[in-house]
A and B are shown apart, each in its own frame.
Chain A
Amino acid sequence: GAGVSQTPSNKVTEKGKYVELRCDPISGHTALYWYRQSLGQGPEFLIYFQGTGAADDSGLPNDRFFAVRPEGSVSTLKIQRTERGDSAVYLCASSSRGQPSGGGTGELFFGEGSRLTVL
Chain B
Amino acid sequence: EDQVTQSPEALRLQEGESSSLNCSYTVSGLRGLFWYRQDPGKGPEFLFTLYSAGEEKEKERLKATLTKKESFLHITAPKPEDSATYLCAVQASPDSWGKFQFGAGTQVVVTP
List A residues at the B interface (Cβ < 8 Å): 4, 31, 33, 40-45, 48, 55-56, 58-59, 91, 93, 95, 98-100, 103, 105-113
CB-CB contacts below 8 Å: B75-112 with A: 87, 89, 91, 93, 95-105
Q: Which of B14-22, B38-46, B64-72 contacts A (4 or more CB under 8 A)?
A: B38-46
Interface of A is mostly: loop
Instruction: Give complex CA distance A95, B99 in Å.
Output: 12
Instruction: Give complex CA distance A100, B100 in Å.
Output: 14
Q: Which residue of A lies closest to B9 (CB)?
A: A40
**A59-B99, A93-B43 known; 5 other A-B pairs, CB under 8 Å?**
A40-B104, A41-B104, A42-B89, A45-B101, A113-B42
Chain B, interface size category, equals 20 to 34
CB distance from B63 to the nearest CB of A (A): 16
List B residues at the A interface (Cβ < 8 Å): 4, 32, 34, 36, 41-46, 49, 51, 87, 89, 91, 93, 95-105
Judge whether B43 and A4 touch: CB under 8 Å.
Answer: yes
Q: A107 and B42 in contact (CB under 8 A), knowing A45-B99, A48-B99, A98-B97?
A: no
CB distance from A98 to the nearest CB of B (A): 4
